[in-house]
Amino acid sequence: MSEKFYKTSSLEMFEKSEQGSSDISEILGGAIAVKKMFVDNAGSFHNLIHDMNFPNVSLNAYLSDIMDRSFATLKNYQSTSESLKDLSEKFYKTSSLEMFEKSEQGSSDISEILGGAIARFARFDDPSKALFEALKSDNIKKGLKEFKIADVTKDMFNPKSKEFKDIDIYDFTHYLLMVNREPNENNPTLKRLIEAVKDMQKRERERE
């Protein structure tokens, strides 16, 4: 996808967000942060989509939805912890699994979580730089290894282990939820949300 696509999509989202809002200043702040973050990183998203180190992430199928979800997260929540708490309560355990099994909701669900994960960067001091660093191929590999999501080679003693080239959109979402955090961070809300992502991944594989 081209840089023009990202600029157009972000600007359209920005313009739509201004209509009918009772709190224009708050909406503008969130829209500007998201718009700038995505536009500044158009090249990074393009490179990641075509990065053969991660051929199964298929990020291009989710980008438009992710931008909308990122903006909605900033609009509706005052903090990252609030948005993650709501996401974990919505998707954790049986209710989300039943919904996921009975419908084609999977893509929308993971887009919502991924949008929430990316929205977190808009609250950083330098959102564009933070997201840029998170999307760099070498940093993704480093994070995947650090958070025990994947590694250069499979662990012969762990049948569930995977190589970098095997990760999918669910693993990438897991990575984005964890990046710039301590690997052993004690955060029950985050832990539940990551478990929900793993459950979605499992159900998706069962459907294939």
Q: Is the pLDDT of residue 102 over 60?
A: no
Task: Report residue 162: phi and psi, to 5°.
Answer: -145, 160
Terminal Cα-to-Cα distance of the chain (whole angstroms):
27
Structural domain span for residue 81: 3-207
Q: Say if residues 69 and 13 touch (Cβ distance below 8 Å).
A: no
Q: Is the pLDDT of residue 21 over 50?
A: no
**pLDDT tens sequence across 168-190:** 999 999 999 999 998 888 889 99
Q: State how far the Cα of 83 lies from the Cα of 77, in Å rounded to an integer.
A: 6
Q: What mean pLDDT is reported for the chain?
A: 83
Q: State how far the Cα of 181 lies from the Cα of 204, in Å rounded to an integer.
A: 27
Q: What is the number of domains present in the chain? A: 1
